[in-house]
A and B are shown apart, each in its own frame.
Chain A
Amino acid sequence: MRSKRNDNYSTIQLYGLVILRVLIGWYFLYEGLAKVFTPKWTAYGYLMDSQGVFAPFFRMIAENQSMMAAADFINIWGLTLVGVMLILGLLEKASYIGAALFLILYYLSHPPLLHVEYLLPTEGSYLWVDKNLVMLAAVAVLYFFPTAMRIGMDRIMLKNKSK
C-alpha cells in the first residue's frame, strides 16, 4: 500500500511537494487565463516560428485553419483546466499527464538547439535544456510523489469513490 500511496512524507516533504504542485498549477492557470482574456488570441505565430525536427508538424497545424482553431482552444482551456486541477489537487495524476503533454509539445516545437534563433526572444540563455524541460522533469517527479490524497480535493473525491 505504501509504495502505491507514497504518502509517508515528513511534513516538510509534504509541504514542499504541495508548494511545487501549486506553483506549477499557478503558472499553467495564469498562462491559460491570460489567453482567455486576450481577444482573438492565437498560437499561430508561435507555431509558425517552430524549429527543429518537428517544426513541419507544428507549421502544418498552423496552416490548417480548423486544426489551428482546435489547437487554440486546447491551449487556452487546457492550460486553464490543468492549472485549476493542479492547484486544487483534483484528479492529480491526470493533471500531471496533461501538464507533461503541454510541456513536451512546447519543448519539441521550440527546442533550444545550437544555431537556432526564434523570433520571440527568450528571457534567458539556453542550450538543449530550457525551463520547459526543467518543469517537465518537476512534473514527472510530482507524478511519482503524489500529494493530492493528503492535501487536495482528491482526498475527498477519490476516498468517497473508493468507498
Chain B
Amino acid sequence: MSEKEITPNDRGNKQDNLNQKPVSQGRRDAIKALATVPVLGAMAYGVYRKRKQEMRNITSADMFHFNSEVSPLTPLSSDGKTIRLGIIGSGIRGKQLMIALGFATPQYVEDLIQANKQNSSDNRYRDFREQEDLKIVITAVCDIFDVHAEEAIAAGSNINREGLKGKNGTTPKRYHSYRELLAADDVDAVVIASPDHWHGQMALEAARAGKHVYLEKPMTWTVPETYALREEVKKSGVIFQLGHQNRQVEAYTRAREIVAKGLLGPVSLIETGTNPIHPDANPQTIDWKQFEGDPDRVKEYMDYMTSTGLAKYVGPDPRDRFSLERFFRWRCWWDYSTGLSGDLLTHEYDAMNQIMDLGIPSSATSSGGVYFFRDGRTVPDVLQTSFEFADRGLTMFYSATLASQFKRNRKIMGHDATMEVGNTLTVTIDPRSEQYRDKIENGTIKPGEPFYHYVPGKSIDAVTSATELYFAERGLLYSYVDGKRYNTTYLHLREWLECIRSGQQPSCNIDRGFEEAITAHMGTRAYLEGRTMYWDAEKEEIIRG
C-alpha cells in the first residue's frame, strides 16, 4: 500500500502495522476480504428455516399424492376414416362448434388475421391454423334462418382455414329441413345446436337414421322424450355425446380423485353458483313453421302445462305467430327453453356428476322469479334449486341470477375439508376435521387456510409459489400443454369423433345425459309447480310431492 492510497482512517493503523509482522497484514487482508462471508451463512440459515416452514406444503404433496398424471392427449388414430358431418342449427353455438371443429367463415379468419396485424400478441389466427386436423368433412348444413345457413356453408367449405382470398373446398349441401339432412347418405354423424325445444326430437330422429350424435345441452325439453331418446340411442348403437365440455377440464379429473380418496371426508353440501336481433331476419329468411317445434313434443309440453295448471307460463304469444323476439331470444320463454335449469344448471350438475357420480337426485325444490329483466319473459332470471341425494346424505344447492356477473366458486364441502372447484382446485382443511386432527394439533396443517392447490399442467402440484398461483388462476399460466392451448369444446368433439372411429363410449354418453335431463326437469317442474319433485328410482318416474 503506498502512502498516497492510505485513507485518513488507515493512518492510525499504519502506525501499528509498522511494529507488526507481515503475517498480520495478510491476516488483516483475509479478514477484510472475507468480512461479508458470514452474511451467506445467515442467508443459508434463513433459507433453511423458511424451507422447513414450507415443508408443510410438502406434507400436503404427500397426503394428496396421485400416481396417475392427467394424460395430456392421446394422438388421433392414424388409420381413422374421414367422418362426414352434418350441422343442424348454425346460430351462435353452432358456429362456435364448427370453429372448434376447424371450420370458420373466411370473414372470421380474415378478422383474426387483421387482429394479429394490429396486435402481434393476438395469436388466435396462428392457434386456429395450427389446430389439429380432425379428419372430418362438413357435407351438410341445416338452419331455418338463411343468413345462418349461408354462414355455415361458407365455413364448411373453408377447408384450408383461410381468409377472404383463400381457396375453398367442396361446398356443403344446404338442407331446409333437418329430416332431409338426416336422410342423406353422405352424412355419418350430426352436430345438433338448435334451440332447446328441438334437442330431443332431432337427436331421436338422428339416432333412428343411424347417425352418430353430438347434442348441445340440455338433452331434452320434455320429460317423455327423455326416455324415448335414451331408448333409441341404445337400440341404434350410435355414438352419442352430450355437449358438456366440462368433461374435458383437467382439474375435474383431479377433483374426482380427491373425492374418491375420501380426502374431503363425508360430503354433506355442494354449492354451485341474450342476443341481438339480426338485420336480415324476417319471415322470408326464417322458416318459422319449422321453428315452432315438433307437433308431438309440443303436445307433450302443452299436456303437461295445462294438466298442472301452468297455462300462465305458456306463450304469451301464440306459437304460430312469427316473432323475431322469440326467434332470437328463445331462451326467455318456456315454449322453447328449459330455463336456467336446462341452460346453466345442467353445466353445474354435470360437472358435479362427473366429479362425484351423483346420479339422479331423490328430490328437488326450487324457488325464484322474474325479478330483474321484466321484459315479458316467462323464464325466471333468478333461480334457486336444492337437490337432495338422500342415500348419499348430501344436498346440491344451485343458485343463479342473470342480473349479476359476480363469480361464485363451486364448493364441495366435506367434514374434513372443503374443495373449491374451477380451473384450479383449492382444498381447505376444516378446523374440526377428525381425519386431520393429528396434523392440525402438531401444527403441520393450519385449518382454515388453503392447504392444497392444484394447477393444471404441473406435475408437482402442492408446492406452488403465491405468484404462480395468482397468474394461473387468471389463466395466464400453462396456456400451452404439449406446446398448444386447447379449448375444451374442441376436446369434447374430438373425443366423440374418436369414439365413432373406435366404437367406445364417450364421457358424456346417453346415460349421463339421461341423468342430466331428468335432474334438470325435476328442478324445472319444482319451480313451475311450486312444490317438491321426487324421483322414484325403481319405476324411473318423477313424482309430485
Contact = CB atoms under 8 A, between A and B. Distances in A.
A151 B121 contact: no
A18 B36 contact: yes
Interface string B6-37: 01110000000000000000000110111111
Interface string B445-482: 00000000000001110010101101110101100100
Contacts of B4: 1-2
Chain B residues touching A, majority SS:
helix
Contact of B468 (A25, A37, A45): A45
Contacts of B470: 45, 119-120
A29 B43 contact: yes
B458 to A, nearest CB: 6
B39 A22 contact: yes
Contact of A88 (B29, B40, B459): B40
B409 interface: no
Interface in A1-56: 1-2, 5, 7-11, 14, 18, 22, 25-26, 29-30, 33-34, 37-42, 44-46, 48-49, 55-56
A151 B32 contact: yes
A1 B34 CA distance: 24
B483 interface: yes
A41 B455 CA distance: 13
A89 B47 contact: no
Q: Report which residue of B8, B46, B458, B468 has the largest number of chain A beta carbons within 10 angstroms of its beta carbon.
A: B468
A89 B36 contact: yes
Contacts of B538: none
Nearest to A21: B36
Given A18-B36, A63-B123, A151-B32, A119 B476 contact: yes
A155 interface: yes
A81 interface: no
A87 B121 contact: no
A30 to B, nearest CB: 7
A2 B7 CA distance: 10
Query: Counting chain A CB atoms within 10 Å of each CB, which of B30, B32, B459, B480 scores highest?
Result: B32
B463 A38 contact: yes
Interface in A119-163: 119-120, 150-156, 159
Among B29, B120, B465, max chain A CB count under 10 A is at: B465
Given A87-B40, A88-B40, A120-B470, A155 B29 contact: yes
Nearest to B477: A45
A64 to B, nearest CB: 11
Contacts of B463: 38-39
Contacts of B46: 30
A8 B7 contact: yes
Contacts of A120: 467, 470-471
A84 interface: yes
A85 B34 CA distance: 12
B540 interface: no
A150 B459 CA distance: 48
A39 to B, nearest CB: 5
A40 B460 contact: yes
B185 interface: no
A110 interface: no
A56 B477 contact: no
Contacts of B30: 156
Contact of B36 (A8, A41, A87): A87
B186 to A, nearest CB: 41
B5 interface: yes
A5 B5 contact: yes
A59 B5 contact: no
Given A89-B36, A120-B467, A45 B472 contact: yes
A49 B121 CA distance: 11
A128 B7 CA distance: 40
Contact of B39 (A55, A60, A87): A87
Contact of A45 (B47, B458, B476): B476
B51 interface: yes
B47 A155 contact: no
Given A7-B5, A11-B9, A151-B35, A49 B476 contact: yes
9 contacts: A5-B5, A8-B7, A25-B39, A30-B47, A42-B468, A45-B471, A56-B121, A120-B470, A159-B29
Question: What are the 3 tightest A-B residue pairs by CB atom distance, in nearest-first order?
Answer: A45-B471, A155-B33, A156-B33
